[in-house]
Structures are given as structure tokens and as C-alpha cells.
Amino acid sequence: MNTSSSKQLEVSDITFEVHRKPIKNLHIGVYPPDGRVRVSAPKRMSYEAIRLAVVGKLGWIRKHQQKFASQERQSPREYVTGETHYYQGKRYRLNVLLTDGRSSVHLRHGTIEMQVAPDGDHSYREALLSGWYRKQMKEQLPELLDKWQQIIGVQIDSFGIKRMKTRWGTCNPTAKRIWLNLELIKKPAHCLEYIIVHELMHLLEKHHNDRFKSLMDQYLPLWRQYREELNRQPLCSDEWVE
């Protein structure tokens, strides 16, 4: 059952989205790539009180928006030789080789080697590399999930990988199912583990409240450092984070 409601408000030159939920404390978040502002507030809190709370944080909000505006971004990808692509937080030079054989992608000598047919266009090359990323992530996830489920003492029924425009991951505690953003395979390995722990923790605590943070401190003491590192990673032109 959906127990939240949403509305857009504006303070000064900042438009922000308000989600009123059955929570105790107000939370303000600023998210890349464009500094989107999202407020989660207790249902009992009036919109005027929410507005005043945002006014009190305008300096903090603008500081984070400026940080995201100046963050390094990759140019749109063309999938040609010499282009830079990321895998597990490291930069790799793409080497495209034309072949009449089967298309494939491999890591070779510090490069990502793509063998593709001469008529393989931009969309085909993008799909080919995306499929390789998905394969790598799918192979790594079972071991990581098993590790952290045992440590935390929880158990999911299923997981999936997909591209998401607003989140690094999601968890449905009722269905015991988590989804992870495919873009995570491009980030440092510990950032992927951080998101796994974050989503698994929602099986113990649904909300991002003090108990949730305390549990994260208990099981992954450096989680704030990993979150900050994840937010500092270069953004692609169509990349996002929450």
C-alpha cells in the first residue's frame, strides 16, 4: 500500500519535490547530475514548515548543486578505438577490431577489446558493450550477495540488474527482491558492495532513519566514505545517482 504523497514546491530559485511519508524526521537530499532536490518529510509536517526547513538549508543545497555542476563528466560515447570506458573503477582504452567472425568483448592488456562486424553501427556496439558489462556483473553478484546475506543474516528471494535513472539500487522488502543499477559495474568494486549492503539492510529497516544508519555503521563502517567516493566518480552524459 502506498503511504506517501508528493508535491513540488519552490524556494528562491530552487524547485524541489516533497514526499510526505510516515517517518519521524525530515530529510533533504541533493542528487546528480543536475542537483535535483528531494525532500522526505513526516506526514504531520505542514508544507509551510517544510518550506522553512528548506530555506534554512539553501546554502548547503547550493553548495552541493555546485559540486555536481563541476563534477567530471564523460563526453557522449561513440564506441570507437581510443575512447575511454570504465570497468570496476579503472579507465580502459577501447580497441575496436573489425571481424567477419563472432562479435565479442574482452579485457586484454589494459584495454577493452571489441571485435565487431564492419556493419556494426553505434547502437550495435553500445548494446554489445552493455551486454558484456551485464555478463560481468551477473557473474560477480551471486558470490557478493551470498557473502553479505550471511554476514547480515538476511535472505533475498531474487535479484536483478537493470539501468535506473534515479537510483543505484532498490529493495522490495515484502518480496525480498533487490535490483541493482548496471552502471555499478563501472565503479570501484567496494562501491558495488556498498550498494548491495545498503539494499540488503532494507530487509531489516525499510526507512533511511537513525536505526538504518546505525546498522550500516555496524556492518560496513566505511559506508559514508564509499558513498562519497561513488558520488565523486565521473558521470557519463546520461548517468545519475541517488
User: Dihedral, CA atoms, 181, 183, 184, 188, nearest 10 degrees?
Assistant: -170
Residue ranges covered by each domain of the chain: 5-69, 84-232
Range 204-228 burial, b when 16+ CB lie within 10 A, else e: ebeebeeebeebbeebbeebeebbe
CATH superfamily of 84-232: Metalloproteases ("zincins"), catalytic domain (3.30.2010.10)
Interval 42-60 mean pLDDT: 92
pLDDT tens, 86-99?
999 999 999 999 99
Interval 64-80 mean pLDDT: 75
pLDDT at 237: 39
The answer to whether residues 76 and 38 touch, using CB atoms and an 8 Å cutoff, is no
Interval 196-223 mean pLDDT: 95
Question: Which amino acid is residue 191, in one-letter code?
Answer: C
The answer to whether residues 87 and 112 touch, using CB atoms and an 8 Å cutoff, is yes
- CB proximity list for 225: less than 8 A, separation 6 or greater: none
- Comparing 121 with 2, the larger pLDDT belongs to 121
pLDDT tens, 137-187?
999 999 999 999 999 999 999 999 998 876 899 999 999 999 999 999 999
The answer to whether residues 201 and 215 touch, using CB atoms and an 8 Å cutoff, is yes
Confidence band of 238 (pLDDT split at 50, 70, 90): very low
- Comparing 125 with 1, the larger pLDDT belongs to 125
Q: What is the CA radius of gyration of the chain?
A: 20
pLDDT at 32: 67
- CB proximity list for 222: less than 8 A, separation 6 or greater: none
Interval 118-131 mean pLDDT: 95
pLDDT at 234: 55
